[in-house]
Chain A
Amino acid sequence: MVHVDSMKNGFLVIPFKLPEHPVLSKHENGKSVPCHYMFMKKHQSKQEEESNCIFLVNIPLLTNVESMKTVIKEICDKYDEVSYVEDLLYNDEFGLNDVNLSSLTSDLMSVPNDSSETRFTPRNTALLKFVDQSSVNNCWNALVKYSNIKDSSKFVNWNYSAPSFSTFINFYKPIDLEYLKDDVHSHLAIFEQREQEAQ
């Protein structure tokens, strides 16, 4: 495979080495080292909460802010850069929140000035938010260098946060009754309060 460090539209290509999987390795003999490729670009936005962000495309399975913190730290460490990740925004892997029915049926329950409700981020993308501008710059410097590595053995490892058997079984588990009661109660209380305020 030809080495590509960045795409024409400015995205850096950031590879990660994938862990071996027993059922796959027996079929993978002789094939190239399995890698995942993320595409990253500095994010420009006038919105306050989207400042200091890097835009991510193609996010691995079950990625969360912790897994991003780990790999970003590893990459920065390689080039002696210091950078702090604050959050992973708009990562909605399964598209559960593609539509917000609540805000489409009433504005009563929406959080004032919550831009996320109207924000549209394509699927399989997210924003990686850093604590400050220098964190973003440091990280970006490291990423530029990292994207130039051609030897796959030097790639940072990606570790999937794989679900377990019980993760799937848990979908069938009853909702805790007390939790449900509280949830319903508090939600309806807020709703009534807002309704009264609106009148």
Chain B
Amino acid sequence: ENGKSKTHTKTNTTAQDIHIARETAELFKSNIFKLQIDELLEQVKLNNKNILKVEKFLHKLYDMIQQVPESEEQSLIEIQSFFKNKIVAVPFVDPKPNVQNTNYKFKYLKPDVSLVGSFALKTGIYQPQGSSIDILLTMPAELFSKKDFLNFRCLHKRSVYLGWLTHHLSILFQKEKIDSFLKLEYEYFNNDTLLPILKIYCENPNNINTTNDNDYNFYKTKFSINLIVGFPEKVFEHKKLLPNKNCIRVAQDDPKADPSTLPATPLYNFSVLSSSTYESYLKYLYKTKKSTESFKEASILGRLWLQQRGFSSNLSQSGSLGGFGTFEFTTLMAALLNGGGVNGNKILLHGYSSYQLFRGVIKFLATMDLCDSGHLQFHSDINYTDAVSKYVQDGFQTPTLFDKTTKVNILTKMTVTSYKALKEYAKMTLKMLNNVVQDQFANIFLINISKYDNIKYDLCYKLDLPLGEDINKVLISKFTPNEKIKFITIENFLVNKITSILNYALGDRINALEVELVGHKSHFPIKKRKVYSSVGGHSLNFDYAKVKILVNPAESEKLVTRGPQHSEDITPEAATFKSFWGPKASLRRFKDGSIVHSCVWSTSASEPIIASIVDFVLKRHITENVQIDNSVTKQFQELVPLPNLPASKSTSILNLTSYYNLKKSFDELYKLVFKMSLPLSVKSILPIGSAFRYTSLCQPVPFAYSNPDFLQDVIIEFETSQRWPDEITSLEKAKTAFLLKIQEQLEAEHGTKYKSYFTRDESIPFNLDVTTLNILTPEGYGFKFRVLTERDEVLYLRAISNARNDMKPLLEDTFLKFTAKYLASVKHTRTIENISHSYQLFSPVVRLFKKWLDSHLLLGHLTDELVELVAMKPFVDAGPYHIPGSVENGFLKILRFISQWNWKDEPVILDLIKPEDELENGFETSIGGSDVDADTMKKLSEKLTLAQYKGIQTNFGHLRKTDSNGLHLQYFVASKNDPSGILYSSNIPLAIATRLTALSKIAVNLIQSHGLNKQTIDLLFTPGLNDYDFVVKLKTPVALKHSSGIIDDSEFRNISNDSAPTSFPDDMAQLSEKMDPTYQLVKYLNMKYKNSLIFSSHRYIGVNGGEKGDRNVITGLIKPHFKKQQKFKVNIDGNVKPVDKEIVELNKQALFHEIAAFSSELVVDFQSK
């Protein structure tokens, strides 16, 4: 009984402890967050001087608007004749009014002028590109009749009103002599072609020939002014403009038909209705701001968050992420301060801090559905005190934030697609906000993720529409009157069409999709009626379209697109499926017996299936002649080495079969070794080779023994014994004795199938007695066995304590190498193997990254593990981006990360876990795992705790205390597997580390300034040999490409196979004939000239050694202290020549002769500076 209660209390305490710990962490975090927010807000504050400056002009402008003369009532004919030969044109919206049908009159009366928007609310921030001030000019109510909301009437009246105003303002500017620097331009407000406004800005004084610095010139403030012409409140009956009403009557086949059968015109209705609500929202938000202390700060946070993700108040119907800008954010926040729960309960409280308000809005966006299954209602009426916002569990299949007062759906400008994207970002951000361990502030607010499409999205396709007539035929013919009133512009129609075709066709293969009209213009000169586009070669308002996709790698490469079930009578779904896919659709019987309408696709090594689908459906549904450029993806995928395996060209980049085959072969061998009777029984056989974790640069290919990774490392442990020698050489000899026993038994019992031999191993410096047993399997793979005993660690540690002080660093390094190779490697392999099933793109991405490093001659200086951890960063620590879903995306994100990694001050701390949503799922036990059981695996997969995280940070702090500039150790990369952070990155020469940083910076700049194309991608993978002090070109007598298991995309397998081995030689000594001599050459050069030179070369000459794999290059860098003359010392350790009796300098000539002599029969050229 007692025992029971004890346990009970214990559990309680633990739970409580965790709770307290978590709360402390959160409190700590929100405090830090608060400081970061304060600092950020200080940085983005608007400059008061600038505000005063622009306000001076605003007063002047107000006076001038008052001077604009009022007009008589005029007919359209009179208006047309008035504006004839004037500089200013009336910005009539399409379709422009014609004289026959226009019997209403136009008139200009003085407007009511007021400030609206963020400038009025004082929630604006400094923007490097400048910001705008919105001024509302409300047309007097008497200018309208009740029915003017119909058929563009009020819009045309507004256009004339705006034209009149513009005309007279430009005359007044001239009169006041301020026209030399003030510029006027029409603009579609928020990209809404129904809402032209007048924009006033100042031209750069350097561009104009005026010397007098006018008081009203506000150029330096970077402000611009929007004159928005609004309708008076309640001039039209709001109910008639509800989103589901039709307000553009088009001719119907039956003239007597009921207008209610006409399609709804939500965009039009919104445009009209919202033009009369600017002031009510200003009041609504102002009132909320007054009652909520942190409202202003929170709205600034919202603005930044949205901007960094590419969201704005622009119409998303014309492409890009829009419909949700600061106005929508603050309105939602205001609504949630007045309720927002299902029962009207308050989601946000007025006393919340800016952090809490921001977090609350993000949480609401992330967790509540405002489209399919629900919507939010609120009241913007500030006098209606009982107004409560309410979440209603009923969706309109369109994003809805409905204002009961004005009948406006605030989210009208959002498409379903852009809403989905918003929700996705909100979810990611909520996760970041919930992360109490890592600091996510920069990820949430500071990183502009929409700066570069190829980093934000996985795949980007350029769509060129054909020129001229064809466009009319294919597109304009489909743009029927009903479509016109629904979509307003043909561009909106096209975006919608592409989006819906691709969404239907791609389904769950993608996570998100965005269509952008590149070159879409929203402003035009005041002498023009509207935007006339001359780009793109067609009459449409854009140059070309860009389709941007976030891939769902778990589904993207599935071969079959499954449609509806087959049935006797064809269902509407089946009919849609068949007509959509046309000849691609067929009936297929599945294993469960069901017969389903399907499309079957084929995989390819160079392109994702998505590319074939996009190509097929756009050609089928847009036009046969549409040109889809996806060469970037193709080029990147073709850079990943292609294995010389059957059907490798038609094998998906995500396919890991070649690795599974190697593992299967290992499994067989594992069973044999486990069964052997040895003096000590086998405790575990642990694979540690990179192929076991799918990261080897070349995929495993049977008999491809020239591949440097051909022999895959394996660690074997025996049951515990006291008898292992207590001295290192003898210990290694004893281990060899065990391996000899294994070899003997294998030879005796399985000698016909397995081959084996011993080699020396140099992975641990100064331990010259390590031998490994290399076993070649009948399936054509090779495994390298090394023995680990419980004595090893003790002996290495003993060596450190026995060593002279000046030798200690060398021995510590030896110990690190041992730990990395024999101990940490097991955990590393298990972890990467386990989590990479959830990060499908990791394997091809890390392989491409390794290839990039090797093409720049850096890979030889870095350990596989370090490279893999760095490459893992964009996967496990993806924020604020998505987890990479394409080879190019993952690769570019790695480069971007390295280019920005300030390793001197920043540790990399990785949480090597699966994506959080998947963590609950089971853990597969991997092969050979006898002691790493599911429980351990689970522990490995648990998130880092705050304490662990802080511990690692402390380790970094200690490291930098003694090496503050990172001269000795640059890359601190830690995880739960290696809290020390230095296991894989010790001993990288400083020059190599800085070169990697420099190269990645160059690469990122290159891509950002020149984009991705054939030339830039080629350039990315071309080594800059001119940067080195000397270059030695080598040629090996035997070409190694095919025997490394590599084949070119253009090669035929049957031809190249003549030079690819299909079996192992009988004499194991012959294996070496197809090994890379240059690797040994460079290794020994680096050993000899350790103190004065750094040599680099391609590690994988099968991949980077030219067409045949028989070329290599050695580059040499002279270390800085040997670049200058120095005093002669006995321990100078460099090949020097005397300058005078005291001073010597590096004897380059002699060095080059030595190197050339050492390179012996391999050297073909030697270049030096």
Q: Is the CB of B1157 within 8 A of A106?
A: no
Task: Return chain A residues, CB-CB under 8 Å to B803.
Answer: 99, 104
The answer to whether the Cβ of A96 comes within 8 Å of any Cβ in the partner chain is yes
Interface string of A86-114 (1 = CB under 8 A from B): 00000001111111111011101100000
Interface string of B754-770 (1 = CB under 8 A from A): 00011110000111100
Q: Is the CB of B727 within 8 A of A102?
A: yes
Q: Is the CB of A168 within 8 A of B1141?
A: no
Interface string of B732-746 (1 = CB under 8 A from A): 011011001001000
Residue of A nearest to B1090 (CB): A95
A67 to B688, CA, bound (A): 44
Q: Is the CB of A37 within 8 A of B727?
A: no
A163 to B1077, CA, bound (A): 11
A124 to B1150, CA, bound (A): 15
Q: Is the CB of A101 within 8 A of B1161?
A: no
Q: Is the CB of B1161 within 8 A of A164?
A: yes
Task: Return chain A residues, CB-CB under 8 Å to B1131.
Answer: 122-123, 125
Given contacts A104-B798, A122-B1131, A169-B1072, contact A23 B1141 (CB under 8 A): no
Task: Return chain A residues, CB-CB under 8 Å to B1163.
Answer: 23
Q: Is the CB of B1090 within 8 A of A174?
A: no
Task: Return chain A residues, CB-CB under 8 Å to B1147.
Answer: 35-37
Given contacts A34-B1150, A102-B729, A175-B771, contact A6 B1141 (CB under 8 A): yes
Q: Is the CB of A101 within 8 A of B771?
A: no
Interface string of A160-196 (1 = CB under 8 A from B): 1011110111111111010011011101100100010
Q: Is the CB of B810 within 8 A of A105?
A: no
A24 to B1166, CA, bound (A): 6
Task: Return chain A residues, CB-CB under 8 Å to B758.
Answer: 174-175, 177, 180
Residue of B nearest to A33 (CB): B1149
Q: Is the CB of A164 within 8 A of B1153?
A: no
Residue of B nearest to A120 (CB): B804
> Which of B799, B1088, B1135, B1140 interacts with A101 by CB under 8 Å?
B799
A95 to B807, CA, bound (A): 13
| Contact-size category for A | 35 or more
The answer to whether the Cβ of B674 comes within 8 Å of any Cβ in the partner chain is no
Interface string of A14-44 (1 = CB under 8 A from B): 0000110101100110011011110100000
Residue of A nearest to B1087 (CB): A94
> Which of A2, A18, A21, A163 interacts with B1140 by CB under 8 Å?
A2
Within 8 A of A (CB), among B1147-1169: 1147, 1149-1150, 1152-1154, 1156-1158, 1160-1168
For the complex, would chain A's binding face be called helix, strand, loop or mixed by DSSP majority?
A: loop
The answer to whether the Cβ of B1081 comes within 8 Å of any Cβ in the partner chain is yes
The answer to whether the Cβ of B38 comes within 8 Å of any Cβ in the partner chain is no
Distance between A169 CB and nearest chain B CB, rounded to angstroms: 5
Q: Is the CB of A18 within 8 A of B1166?
A: no
Within 8 A of A (CB), among B1115-1168: 1128, 1130-1142, 1147, 1149-1150, 1152-1154, 1156-1158, 1160-1168
Within 8 A of A (CB), among B285-301: none
Task: Return chain A residues, CB-CB under 8 Å to B1136.
Answer: 37, 58
Distance between A40 CB and nearest chain B CB, rounded to angstroms: 11
Q: Is the CB of B1138 within 8 A of A169?
A: no
Interface string of A37-64 (1 = CB under 8 A from B): 1010000000000000001011011100
> Which of A4, A104, A177, A188 interacts with B802 by CB under 8 Å?
A104
Interface residues on chain B, number (Cβ under 8 Å)? 80
Given contacts A7-B1128, A105-B728, A165-B1161, contact A23 B1156 (CB under 8 A): yes
A180 to B1068, CA, bound (A): 15
Residue of B nearest to A171 (CB): B1080
Task: Return chain B residues, CB-CB under 8 Å to A31.
Answer: 1149
A188 to B1069, CA, bound (A): 27
The answer to whether the Cβ of A199 comes within 8 Å of any Cβ in the partner chain is no
Task: Return chain B residues, CB-CB under 8 Å to A169.
Answer: 1072-1073, 1075, 1077, 1080
Q: Which of A96, A105, A123, A195 has the most chain B CB atoms closer than 10 A to its own CB?
A: A105
Distance between B708 CB and nearest chain A CB, rounded to angstroms: 11
Q: Is the CB of B1153 within 8 A of A18?
A: yes
Q: Is the CB of A7 within 8 A of B1157?
A: no
The answer to whether the Cβ of B795 comes within 8 Å of any Cβ in the partner chain is yes
The answer to whether the Cβ of A13 comes within 8 Å of any Cβ in the partner chain is yes
> Which of A8, A35, A163, A165 interacts with B1141 by CB under 8 Å?
A8
The answer to whether the Cβ of A9 comes within 8 Å of any Cβ in the partner chain is yes
Distance between B1071 CB and nearest chain A CB, rounded to angstroms: 7
Q: Is the CB of B1139 within 8 A of A2?
A: yes
Q: Is the CB of A175 within 8 A of B759?
A: yes
A144 to B1142, CA, bound (A): 18
Task: Return chain B residues, CB-CB under 8 Å to A36.
Answer: 1135, 1147, 1150, 1153-1154
The answer to whether the Cβ of B1011 comes within 8 Å of any Cβ in the partner chain is no
The answer to whether the Cβ of B905 comes within 8 Å of any Cβ in the partner chain is no
The answer to whether the Cβ of A11 comes within 8 Å of any Cβ in the partner chain is yes
Distance between A187 CB and nearest chain B CB, rounded to angstroms: 5
A11 to B1142, CA, bound (A): 10
The answer to whether the Cβ of B725 comes within 8 Å of any Cβ in the partner chain is yes
Given contacts A36-B1147, A95-B1087, contact A109 B730 (CB under 8 A): yes
Residue of B nearest to A16 (CB): B1150
Given contacts A23-B1165, A24-B1166, A61-B1088, contact A4 B1154 (CB under 8 A): no
Q: Is the CB of B733 within 8 A of A4?
A: no
Interface string of B77-90 (1 = CB under 8 A from A): 00000000000000
Q: Is the CB of B1073 within 8 A of A101?
A: no
The answer to whether the Cβ of B811 comes within 8 Å of any Cβ in the partner chain is yes
Q: Is the CB of A160 within 8 A of B728?
A: no
Task: Return chain A residues, CB-CB under 8 Å to B1077.
Answer: 165, 168-169
Taking A24-B1166, A94-B1088, A122-B1130 as known contacts, 5 extra A-B pairs with beta carbons closer than 8 A to each other, sorted by chain A number, are A99-B803, A168-B1081, A169-B1073, A184-B736, A188-B737
- List 29 A-B residue pairs with CB atoms under 8 Å apart, sorted by A's residue number: A1-B1137, A4-B1138, A7-B1138, A11-B1128, A18-B1150, A23-B1156, A27-B1167, A36-B1150, A36-B1154, A62-B1158, A96-B766, A98-B807, A102-B727, A105-B799, A123-B1131, A160-B1158, A163-B1158, A163-B1160, A168-B1081, A172-B759, A174-B758, A177-B743, A177-B758, A180-B758, A180-B771, A183-B733, A184-B736, A187-B733, A188-B733
What 9 pairs across the A-B complex have the smallest Cβ distances?
A106-B727, A168-B1077, A122-B1131, A174-B757, A172-B1072, A104-B799, A4-B1138, A160-B1157, A94-B1087
